Amino acid sequence: MLGTGLIKGLAVTAKNLVGSYHDPARYTTVEYPEVKPPLPEAYRNFPFLVSESADDPMGTLRCVACQICEKECPPQCIYIEKSKDKKPDAAGKLQIYPTVFAIDTSVCMSCQICVEVCPFDSIKMDQVYEVATPGRYGDLLLNREQLAKSNAYYHQIRPTEAAEVDGRLAAERKAAEEKAKAAAAAKAALPPKPAAPSPAAKLPDESRRSPQGEGGAAKPPAEGAQP
Amino acid sequence: MSAALPLSAASGANALLERLPVVLRDGLLGYLPESLRWIVSGLITIAALLAVFGLLFAYLTLAERKLLGRIQNRPGPNRTGWFGLLQPFADAVKALTKEDIVPREADAVLHYLAPVVLVALSLMGFAVLPFGRLLVPVELDSAVLYFFAAGAATELAVFMAGWASRNKYSLLAAMRALAQLISYELPLLLSFVPVIMLAGTLSTTEIVTAQGGWTLGFLPHWHVLTPWGFAGFVIFMIAALAESNRSPFDLPEAESELIAGHLTEYSGFKYALFFMAEYFGMCALSGMAVTLFLGGWQAPCAFLEFIPSYAWFGAKLLALLFGFIWIRATLPRLRMDQLTRLAWKFLVPLALINLGTAAFWFLTAGWSGPLQLVRWAVAVALVVVPFLLLGRRLTAGVAPRTYRYAT
């Protein structure tokens, strides 16, 4: 009969009207500034620099200023200046570090290429979205201090990925240490050979490669085993 | 607001509340010389109407947004003030501070005039509505006629806006508005002719008094509670939806097709004026529906008469406005051909048949006893059978719709 559809429709809307008052579960929205819905782990926006410790972010940056990301960045939004000196990194090894590491977030397109090319797992994608600033140019150019965030924060935003990275780094460090020990033992056994120490010294650096460099990480021990 | 009826109708504690607006006005007039009283009295009435319906408009926009929100399972505006209660004022400030843009090619005078004329015309309808026992702004013998003449003139302003904008969307919308007016003016007018036939008057106050009284103390003699009155009320409300350009008949400002229709080239406060006029028109038509079919300011039961009459009018008005919003939240927009087909092939014939039903009802007013049942049965059949037959014809070949890909 004509009109029954109208009444059915009106009943549906009336049900919603009454239901939304006594059943908050019906709500399709959240009241944003007060309630922030959890982000999916894969959500990404702008990179950040991983530091081992939250207390001394500048001293424990994983970045060694290799500038691969700077060269790979499609919109060219990364600017890096290498240090002249070397500082010990988290593992205690002397490394070059970035004196300037800046990302222009007004240019960055969050493509994640910097993360994929980084051999040191030192740059990762952040999950920030409240990034409005009063300044149009200066405030969107983030410097080293603003970009550095601790590994704990990385664990907080991406637990599975961070755990995987940590496990890999630990395994690589352990392998490097064993390699160094073996090399030292070999050196002690054969003191007159002068060529042996130099590959052994290089090893820890080489072994810190990330999955993209895993082939490289696998090779040095083989090379080191040959001499 | 002339004291239309003798005060004896109101009694007891009711009398004070009932008379309060009139007493206040007369108190103010007492300070003025005799020669000025008539004009100041009129001005006070206008100011009161503007204040009441201006505020009603403001909060109606908020109520609409809130209700639409709830119906869509979201909270609606709740940021400005407590529960969003200051939202209308924030909107007003925003509309006032916006830049007023007039297109270079537009007819500047007409472009400026259209919203003003629209608001003025849509306010004119309020002049003859009996808001309460004593609250009738203007007592007119042909009040109903005047009301619908003023209401129909608003379409002129809509066409003015569309024409003056020099914009194809505006003009198309204005054309649609005129087509809609012509289609729906007829069922709108035909739907309440029975009321005038049976009440024997065009005066709104007398139509309301004709609906006074109760059977057994709780069954009011409202027109909507008779077969012809119910049919007339439904046709009236459908046509009123179309007349006030409300969803599902909001073709003149169909956003998805015509940007904003005749509002496309308007900004700032002129845009707000169009909205004001739409809501005023909606309120005025609802007020007229209350007057013609829902017993005006009459209380539904005899023992509820202690509540002042204007409160009853307000409650019925708000209920109808809620209906408008509810329908807007539910129904999708009609297509132009569906709109005109509904009017010409369905509403107009039904309204014409309803005249016959009303005539039958009038002629059988003397029937009593078991004949009363016969009277009701025949009248109900006269309403329901044409509805079913016409409804079947209207939907033949177009319903039910089958969807090949969606389920």
Reported ipTM: the value is 0.78
* Mean pLDDT of chain B, nearest integer: 84
Put simply, the answer to whether B75 touches A26 (Cβ < 8 Å) is no
- Neighboring chain A residues of B75 at a CB cutoff of 8 Å: 27, 29, 31
Put simply, the answer to whether A13 touches B326 (Cβ < 8 Å) is yes
Average pLDDT over residues B76-105: 87
Asked whether the beta carbons of B29 and B21 are under 8 A apart, the reply is no
Residue A115 has a pLDDT of: 93
- Neighboring chain A residues of B235 at a CB cutoff of 8 Å: none
Residue B107 has a pLDDT of: 86
Q: By three-state DSSP, how is residue A47 classified?
A: strand
DSSP string for residues in B75-132: --S-SSSGGGTTHHHHHHHHHHHS-----TTS-HHHHHHHHHHHHHHHHHGGGG---S
Instruction: Give me the residues of A, 27-46, that contact B with CB < 8 A.
Output: 27-29, 31
Any chain A CB within 8 A of the CB of B345? no
Edge to edge, the sheet with strand A123-125 lists: A123-125, A47-51, A148-150
Give the minimum alpha-carbon distance from A209 to chain B in angstroms, rounded to a whole number: 50
Q: By three-state DSSP, how is residue A143 classified?
A: coil
Q: CA B208, CA B317: separation in Å to the nearest integer?
A: 15
User: What dotted CATH number matches A47-157?
Assistant: 3.30.70.3270
Q: Which residue has the higher pLDDT, A202 or B228?
A: B228
Put simply, the answer to whether A9 touches B387 (Cβ < 8 Å) is no
Query: And the tokens for A101?
Result: 């590491």
Where are the CATH 3.30.70.3270 domain residues in chain A? 47-157
Task: Tokens 């739409």: give the residue.
Answer: B278
DSSP string for residues in B165-221: TT-HHHHHHHHHHHHHHHHHHHHHHHHHHHHHHHHT---HHHHHHHT--EETTTEE-
Which parts of B211-294 fold into alpha helices (H)?
227-243, 255-258, 268-293
pLDDT in tens, B375-401: 888 889 888 998 988 888 887 776 666
Give the DSSP H or E segment for A125. Answer: strand A123-125
Q: CA B84, CA B86: separation in Å to the nearest integer?
A: 6
What percentage of residues in chain B have a pLDDT greater than 70? 94
Of B71, B327, B395, the CB nearest to A17: B71
Residue A46 has a pLDDT of: 92
- Neighboring chain B residues of A7 at a CB cutoff of 8 Å: none
- Substitution target from B70, B234, B331, B395 for chain A, most A beta carbons within 10 A: B70
Above 80 in pLDDT, residue B85? Answer: yes
Average pLDDT over residues B122-149: 87
Closest C-alpha among B206, B197, B187, B214 to residue B342: B187
End-to-end CA distance of chain A: 93
Asked whether the beta carbons of A227 and A195 are under 8 A apart, the reply is yes
Average pLDDT over residues A18-40: 86
Put simply, the answer to whether B330 touches A13 (Cβ < 8 Å) is yes
Instruction: Give me the residues of B, 348-387, that contact A with CB < 8 A.
Output: 387
End-to-end CA distance of chain B: 58
Which residues does B20 contact at the CB level (< 8 Å), separation at least 6? B308
pLDDT in tens, B233-292: 999 999 998 888 888 888 777 666 777 778 888 888 888 898 888 899 899 999 999 999
Put simply, the answer to whether A17 touches B395 (Cβ < 8 Å) is no
Above 90 in pLDDT, residue A114? Answer: yes
Average pLDDT over residues A172-184: 88
**Positive or negative CA dihedral for A174, A49, A214, A68?**
negative
Of B67, B388, B391, the CB nearest to A17: B67
Residue B407 has a pLDDT of: 58
Q: How confident is the model at residue A192 (pLDDT cuts 50, 70, 90)?
A: low
- Substitution target from A6, A8, A10, A13 for chain B, most B beta carbons within 10 A: A13
**Positive or negative CA dihedral for A37, A40, A43, A45?**
positive
Which residues does A120 contact at the CB level (< 8 Å), separation at least 6? A62, A63, A64, A66, A208, A209, A210
- Neighboring chain A residues of B325 at a CB cutoff of 8 Å: none
Closest C-alpha among A220, A206, A223, A215 to residue A66: A206
Strand partners, A206: none
Report the chain B residue with the minimal C-alpha distance to residue A26: B73
Highest mean pLDDT among A188-197, B97-106, B256-265: B97-106
- Neighboring chain B residues of A6 at a CB cutoff of 8 Å: 330-331
- Record the pTM: 0.76
Q: What are phi and psi of B366, to 5 degrees?
A: -85, -10
Highest mean pLDDT among A54-58, A137-141, A153-157, B296-300: A153-157
Q: How confident is the model at residue A202 (pLDDT cuts 50, 70, 90)?
A: very low
